[in-house]
């Protein structure tokens, strides 16, 4: 797990100010720009389905925020944004994109911001946590930061079966997430694209 964290620290430093630092390293800057435009549209579609397109007076945690591209989107919708990531370089860029945001450095398996949020958001991060115990610890940390009545929104391209196409990647299935999050006391919010979006609510 330490090797994975160091990989992301090094990647952000090597590709500083480039979208490949958080996007697809095999794609061009233009292609990654397009991918992130679609990702923001996908996030907005979920928010619209939940009736949450106006985030004023709402607190939001972007867990694994990277350089703040999606944090900036939430901030533009009015949210009070906080973020956590392992890379100082990424957090520096996130702070520039979200001038009133609060950003801290910590792995997802161990972060504790001593507060709860109306929305906890985590996109394309959890499948990079390959070891099961560490993955579950990260999921528990996310769930712990959701306020009563708040949402946990995970953007994750799930697979029909568990799959590890590379040493730094481990894809999990929808039932694995469902079992874990139910055990943490969260309630599933049905979504049309359940294989890509997981939305859970804290009673």
Domains of the chain by start residue, with CATH: 36-201 (3.40.50.150)
Total residues belonging to the chain: 203
Give the side-chain half-sphere CA count within 13 A for 74.
31
Percent of the chain with pLDDT over 90: 67
The token duo for 178 is 């469902």
99-103, 106-110, 164-168: least confidently modelled range: 164-168
The token duo for 158 is 């799930």
Band (pLDDT 50/70/90 cuts) for residue 13 is: confident
Find the distance separating the first CA and the last CA of the chain, reported in whole Å. Answer: 32
Would you say residue 197 has pLDDT above 90?
A: no
Average pLDDT of the residues of the chain: 91
Band (pLDDT 50/70/90 cuts) for residue 195 is: low
DSSP secondary structure code for residue 78 in this structure: T
DSSP secondary structure code for residue 67 in this structure: T
Beta-carbon neighbour count of residue 44 at 10 Å? 14
* pLDDT at 131 (0 to 100): 92
More confident residue, 101 or 33: 101
Cross-strand bridge partners of residue 103? 83
Percent of the chain with pLDDT over 70: 97
* pLDDT at 73 (0 to 100): 97
Note the pLDDT tens digit of each residue in 128-158.
899 999 999 999 999 999 999 999 999 987 8
The helix (H) or strand (E) run that includes residue 197 is strand 197-201
Contact assessment for residue 81 and residue 105, using Cβ atoms and an 8 Å cutoff: no
Residue 53: phi and psi, rounded to 5, are -80, -15
Note the pLDDT tens digit of each residue in 154-184.
998 788 899 988 777 899 999 999 999 999 9
All residues at 6 or more sequence positions from 39 whose CB lies less than 8 Å from its CB, including other chains: 70, 123, 155
Note the pLDDT tens digit of each residue in 77-86.
999 999 999 9
Would you say residue 99 has pLDDT above 90?
A: yes
The token duo for 28 is 């061009």
Contact assessment for residue 62 and residue 71, using Cβ atoms and an 8 Å cutoff: yes
* pLDDT at 199 (0 to 100): 94
Ordered alpha helix ranges (H), the chain: 2-14, 29-50, 69-76, 88-97, 132-144, 174-183
Note the pLDDT tens digit of each residue in 56-67.
999 999 999 999
When pLDDT is averaged across residues 187-192 and rounded to a whole number, the result is 85
């Amino acid at each position: 797990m330490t090797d994975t964290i160091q990989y992301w620290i090094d990647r952000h430093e090597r590709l500083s100010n480039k979208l490949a630092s958080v996007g697809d390293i095999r794609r061009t800057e233009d292609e990654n720009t397009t991918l992130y435009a679609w990702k923001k549209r996908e996030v907005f579609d979920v928010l619209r389905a939940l009736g949450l397109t106006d985030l004023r007076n709402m607190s939001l945690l972007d867990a694994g925020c990277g350089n703040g591209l999606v944090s900036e989107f939430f901030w533009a919708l009015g949210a009070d944004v906080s973020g956590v990531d392992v890379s100082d370089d990424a957090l520096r860029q996130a702070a520039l994109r979200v001038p009133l945001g609060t950003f801290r450095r910590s792995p997802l398996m161990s972060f504790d911001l001593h507060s709860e949020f109306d929305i906890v958001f985590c996109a394309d991060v959890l499948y990079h946590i390959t070891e099961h115990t560490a993955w579950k610890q990260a999921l528990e940390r996310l769930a712990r930061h959701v306020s009563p009545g708040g949402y946990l929104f995970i953007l994750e391209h799930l697979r029909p079966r568990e799959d590890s196409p590379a040493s730094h990647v481990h894809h999990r299935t929808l039932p694995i997430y469902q079992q874990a999050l139910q055990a943490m006391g969260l309630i599933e919010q049905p979504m049309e694209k359940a294989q890509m979006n997981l939305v859970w609510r804290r009673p």
